[in-house]
Structure 1
Amino acid sequence: MLDLSEQYHSMRGEVLETIDNVLSSSQYILGDHAKKLEDDLAHYSHTAYGIGVGNGSDALHIALQAAGIKEGDEVITVPFTFFATAGSIARAGAAPVFVDIDPATFNMDAAKIEQAVTDKTKAIMPVHLYGQMADMKEIMDIAQKYNLIVIEDAAQAIGAEYYGKKPGELGTAAAYSFFPTKNLGAYGDGGMIVTSDRALAEKSRILRVHGSKPKYFHHILGYNSRLDELQAAILNVKFKKLNEFNSMRRAHASYYTEHLNELSPHYVKTPIEKEGNYHVYHQYTLRVEHRDELQSYLKEKGIDSMVYYPIPLHVQPVFKSLGYQEGDFPEAEKAAKEVLSLPIYPELAEEDLTYIVKTMKEFYHSKS
């Protein structure tokens, strides 16, 4: 599904040099490399501030808390996403309130948000799933109408654009993940908040160091969640190639879509890139017939694939107390039964793409 070794070997010399630079400096926590990455990613995101934290989940959680989300509040989000989205809301003491997804993009259906707003609603957390941004204009219109904070879950969408706007540029803040599989991946965990809200940025910086400012003076309870200096140094090397990597992902996606179209729409529905969007294809995710059988067939032929995500969050046991049940969000539930993601990392060879397409066609031709 993903081979990180080829990318490493393509930049091995520069990576080892920057690691040696960090080790020689003996500056391991919140040093110059972390500051450079914060500044560069804030600029890249068209925002004023970057705050490096321990991982993408903490980026979401700290951004929420820094924005004032607390116990008793409600935050609107989607049930079709990685657990950290709703988990961060719950960790902040608030209640996740789910709305269904747009079946075309798998992102939040903005038309369903307003009916979920209550007196307790304080924020919206859209997810830019698989690398395509949600309908931010509609989301921001509703947020402004009800005076709501918008924290964008951009863990899978670094480099994505919505009518020329990057994550964090329209919302109150956005959260990135640097998990190794991401489009900009570290060699371990890492995350970042980007925002133009000065107060949110300042409080995020305090929260990531046990709630202290100045050092050893604690006015709020915080966390130990700082972007590691070694990881920041490695990310600085890889960041220079982010746009190139995203372009390669887009090229692979175009190849898949072009060559799988003969199976569409009966057996396969290829991803849709909505007008005004720049999709960075963290995942190339199809809707497919006979999903589980196809996945087994691909595995037999030496092809990895993944289901992101098999169980919607509203029916996860940990959220049973929220009172949701199966059938509440039919589009999310349908997607969970149909989606399948194919390999799409930048270094994937054309012969691999050809083989994957050929194998999928063989499977479906046998069905017809």
Structure 2
Amino acid sequence: MGVLFSAPQYEFQLIRQEWEQRFNELCAHGVFVGGAPVKEFEKHFASFLDVKGVAGVGNGTDALFLALKALEIGKGDEVITATNTFIATVEAIHHTGATPVLVDCERDSYLIDLDQVKANVTSRTKAIIPVHLYGQMVDIDEFVQWAADKGIFIVEDCAQAAGAHLNGKYAGSIGSIGCFSFYPDKNLGAIGDGGAISSNHPELLSGFRKLRNHGGELKYIHEFPGFNSRLDPLQALVLDLKLKYLNEWSERRRENAGIYSENLSNVEGVIVPKHRGDESHVFHLYVIRVEEDRRDALKKHLQKKGILTAIQYPTAVHQTPAFQHLGYGRGAFPVSEEYAQQILSLPMSIALSKADIEYVCDEIRSYMGTN
């Protein structure tokens, strides 16, 4: 018996027939960049998020970078984010010329520690990027006003949290800007790369659309040097079809997470995720913690049993060679550094059956009980 880590191919099969029909129509029209599919998805996703607009872009990293560029962030500015994130969050800051300022995560939730964020604000702080990690939203409702009072922008990193909502607001609708990745294994995933930027500010939306298209919304009208980062219409077709299932699929992931927690909560040596127990977590990942000296061996044991797992992320950003120049030494962020040696992401997708999850749990229980 084998259990895949994620199953984007399963999701695609659910929409395949309708996608092929729309794909054939697209080919018949011959519009392979931009066009109606992208505009329709942007409109529907904006309605889903309850924001004024969405701009599709080439990928999630571009979403973050272009968002910061639209805010005119650059050399001399500082942007605060978490060190326990995918490197793209910090790369986006770096490539604007601004300085990434990193902080640790909370012990229970793994989410960015907002108290540390406040403690690291300086006169050069231009923006803060809270990462809705593993699919769980950072509660930034009150934090947004605090930041606004200081003239600081909030750019939500929603790469793993499409569909999550808290206090009636979706991830990507609370801060100044929301940034999404549609990488194939995301909760709302394409069949290739894709991303989007959401906002309630018309002037920012116009800026995104110009930046993604060589500095202008209209062909050959270049208001400033821009970039080439457009959402592919083939991907927009997939995303538009999947969007109508997103809430249903989010609930399925929460149910799967519940089965995991029920089976693993009492296993000695295993720490299951803590969360609010509401719809603010869409479980892009189900991440457990195991003692450092047993984590890798457990991963190998599960692999031998046909169970694929992953580690998100094996190294905190400040300890990667790419960002050692920031000057944070070992011990600078003890929680993130400790957890990087303990976390293990278990299989999570809507394709999992209860039997699949119980099999994974049985193998974890067996290993932890005998080693």
TM-score normalised by the shorter chain: which range applies? Answer: over 0.9
Which among 281, 287, 303 is matched to residue 285 of structure 1?
287
> Residues of 1 paired with 2:9 and 2:185: CA distance?
12
Which string of whole-angstrom CA distances, capped at 9 and with x for unpartnered residues, describes residues 291-324 of structure 1? Answer: 1111111111111100000010111111122111
The change in CA–CA distance for 1:261 and 1:213 in structure 2 (over 3 A counts) is closer
- Percentage of pairs with the same residue: 39
> Residues of 2 paired with 1:326 and 1:107: CA distance?
20
Equivalences for 1:206-355 in 2 at 5 Å? 206-263=210-267, 266-274=268-276, 278-289=280-291, 290-355=294-359
Q: Which residue of 2 aligns with 1:168?
A: 172
Q: Which residue of 1 aligns with 2:193?
A: 189
> Residues of 2 paired with 1:291 and 1:333: CA distance?
15
- Unaligned 5+ segments in structure 2 are none
The change in CA–CA distance for 1:152 and 1:359 in structure 2 (over 3 A counts) is same
Q: What is the DSSP-based 3-state SS (H/G/I as helix, E as strand, rest coil) of the residue aligned with 2:169?
A: coil
Q: Which residue of 1 aligns with 2:120?
A: 116
Q: Which residue of 1 aligns with 2:33?
A: 29
Which string of whole-angstrom CA distances, capped at 9 and with x for unpartnered residues, describes residues 171-212 of structure 1? Answer: 001001110000011010000001001111001000001113
Q: Which residue of 2 aligns with 1:152?
A: 156
Q: Which residue of 1 aligns with 2:363?
A: 359
Specify the code of the residue in structure 2 equivalent to 1:240: K
Which among 107, 111, 121 is matched to residue 111 of structure 2?
107
Which string of whole-angstrom CA distances, capped at 9 and with x for unpartnered residues, describes residues 64-86 of structure 1? Answer: 11112112110000000101100
Q: What is the DSSP-based 3-state SS (H/G/I as helix, E as strand, rest coil) of the residue aligned with 1:11?
A: helix
> Residues of 1 paired with 2:345 and 2:146: CA distance?
32
> Residues of 2 paired with 1:322 and 1:278: CA distance?
32
Q: Which residue of 1 aligns with 2:63?
A: 59
Residue 238 (structure 1) shift: 1.2
2:228 is the alignment partner of 1:199:
no
Which among 49, 53, 77 is matched to residue 49 of structure 1?
53
The change in CA–CA distance for 1:275 and 1:300 in structure 2 (over 3 A counts) is closer
Q: Which residue of 2 aligns with 1:133?
A: 137
Residue 228 (structure 1) shift: 0.4
Q: What is the DSSP-based 3-state SS (H/G/I as helix, E as strand, rest coil) of the residue aligned with 2:130?
A: coil
> Residues of 2 paired with 1:107 and 1:239: CA distance?
26
Which among 96, 99, 102 is matched to residue 98 of structure 1?
102
Residue 44 (structure 1) shift: 1.1
2:67 is the alignment partner of 1:77:
no
Q: Does the 8 A contact of 1:114 with 1:142 survive in 2?
A: no
Q: What is the DSSP-based 3-state SS (H/G/I as helix, E as strand, rest coil) of the residue aligned with 1:286?
A: strand
Residue 165 (structure 1) shift: 1.1
Specify the code of the residue in structure 1 equivalent to 2:273: P
Q: Does the 8 A contact of 1:18 with 1:234 survive in 2?
A: no
Q: Does the 8 A contact of 2:8 with 2:189 survive in 1?
A: no
Q: Does the 8 A contact of 1:74 with 1:122 survive in 2?
A: yes
Residue 25 (structure 1) shift: 1.5
Specify the code of the residue in structure 1 equivalent to 2:249: F
Worse overlay, 1-10 or 236-245:
1-10
Query: What is the alpha-carbon root mean square deviation over aligned residues?
Result: 1.3
Q: Does the 8 A contact of 2:83 with 2:318 survive in 1?
A: yes
Residue 352 (structure 1) shift: 1.1
> Residues of 1 paired with 2:249 and 2:101: CA distance?
35
> Residues of 2 paired with 1:114 and 1:302: CA distance?
45
Which string of whole-angstrom CA distances, capped at 9 and with x for unpartnered residues, describes residues 139-166 of structure 1? Answer: 3143123210000000000000122211
Q: What is the DSSP-based 3-state SS (H/G/I as helix, E as strand, rest coil) of the residue aligned with 2:248?
A: helix
> Residues of 2 paired with 1:218 and 1:8: CA distance?
37
Dislocated runs of 4+, deviation >3 Å: none
Q: What is the DSSP-based 3-state SS (H/G/I as helix, E as strand, rest coil) of the residue aligned with 2:173?
A: coil
> Residues of 2 paired with 1:16 and 1:248: CA distance?
26
> Residues of 1 paired with 2:136 and 2:245: CA distance?
19
Number of residue pairs matched by the alignment:
365
Q: Which residue of 2 aligns with 1:178?
A: 182
> Residues of 2 paired with 1:219 and 1:150: CA distance?
26
Q: What is the DSSP-based 3-state SS (H/G/I as helix, E as strand, rest coil) of the residue aligned with 2:330?
A: coil
Q: Does the 8 A contact of 1:210 with 1:224 survive in 2?
A: yes
- Unaligned 5+ segments in structure 1 are none
Q: Does the 8 A contact of 1:157 with 1:282 survive in 2?
A: yes
TM-score (structure 2 length as normaliser): 0.95
Q: Does the 8 A contact of 2:103 with 2:116 survive in 1?
A: yes
> Residues of 1 paired with 2:165 and 2:108: CA distance?
18
